[in-house]
Amino acid sequence: MPYVVKKNGSRTEYTSAKLRGSLELALRKRPVAAPAVDAAIATIEEKLLTSGKREVETGYIGELVMQELKRLDNVAYIRFASVYKNFEDLAEFQNAIAEVGQERKAPRKS
């Protein structure tokens, strides 16, 4: 796995436990089965491995997490996004909720 470059520039080894903890915190008390969480973690880790990068920024991992949470549960996605994107006011929450709402209304491609 690539090393993780934090916002302050320090580097650390990737740990699956931190990724799992972030997902489980966002999904707390949400109706998402454990196998779905395991699959999301596997998807994220596969993307990290196949990126070919020796180092990845935490922002890249955060975006991967948001993609998976949006697929799993909209409430968990909003929870994670509010912390990850550091929402500062109600308008930012409303914009994120509207974005999720628009995606639900859009016809899905088969």
Taking the alpha carbons at both ends of the chain, their separation in whole angstroms is: 33
Residue 98's SS3 state is helix
Here the tokens at position 63 are: 């975006």
The yes-or-no verdict on residue 29 having pLDDT over 70 is yes
Band of residue 92 on the pLDDT scale cut at 50, 70, 90: confident
pLDDT of residue 33: 94
User: With 70 as the cut, is the pLDDT of residue 54 above it?
Assistant: yes
Please state the φ and ψ torsions of residue 29, each to the nearest 5 degrees: 60, 25
Rounded Cα gap, residues 56 and 19, in angstroms: 14
- Res 20: pLDDT: 94
Could you tell me which residue, 9 or 108, shows the higher pLDDT?
9
pLDDT at 110 over 50: no
Report the distance separating Cα 89 and Cα 57, nearest Å: 26
The pLDDT of residue 93: 65
Residue 101's pLDDT is 66
